[in-house]
Amino acid sequence: MNQTSKPSQPINTHAPVMLVTGGAKRIGAAIVRAAHEQGYRIIIHCHRSEQEAHALADALNNARPDSAVVIIADLAVVNQSDALHDFTQNIMQAFGQLDVLTHNASRFYPSPLGHITHAQWDELFLTNAKAPLLLSQALSPYLRTQRGCIISLLDIHAHNKPFKDYAVYNMAKAAHRMMVQSLALDMAPAVRVNGVAPGVNILPEPHSDQALDPQQQKSIIDSIPMQRIGKPAEIAHSVLYLAQASYVTGEIITVDGGRSLTLAGGPV
């Protein structure tokens, strides 16, 4: 575990604690900032984005001391019981409690039929299904103690409207969606479990393996009734609502500018 803090205001040791996986950048960082603004203490998990995670934690700790920590780990820790135990202990040592577990970390890239590999299957199912389930299980005793909740970032394509050429990703996100609904039953009444399904709320980085070409981007925007790409802050708003909605469980909020009303599968 890596921790960064700089004193500037009194420390609130009674504030709720939220863990955000993949919390260093993009939608994850937006959730982190929004939760921190509402008084949460934050655990920022990252794997490769260490520099961004520490910069974000520094900014939060400058605003409110001892309110943010960084934990660096490959989510493949869930594949080994000892490693998962150590990861869980690092999380709990940060602030001594956990109120909200937000599953945001995800890999996203195409897997065209005829070129699907075991490595793609393992990576996409790890981040989008296996790690969320096993991490939820490992942290469930601590969430039960706090009467806390789990919030999963899903996808509008996880239910009946798959991306073309993204079979493995579609399957993994569909599994994650079912995890939300299953755990909502299994963990009630002590722990609530909900999801947020974005549409296009942020575009992939232009030089990544997830990049979309300009024609794909234009096609997407044209298909959105709101006629714009969503904002990460709009996802964060729904996450914070679910964190506080004490009588809501097993629900998945769609935040897509109406795109799912017009979407019929096919190209992204």
Residues marked active site are found at 169
Distance, in Å, from the CA atom of 216 to the CA atom of 43, rounded to the nearest integer, reads 35
Q: Are 74 and 127 in contact (CB under 8 A)?
A: no
Q: Please write down the long-range contacts of 207-214, taking CB distance under 8 Å and 24 or more positions apart.
A: 209/109, 210/108, 210/109, 212/268
Distances (CA, A) of 265 to 89, 116, 162, 195, 260: 42, 20, 5, 21, 9
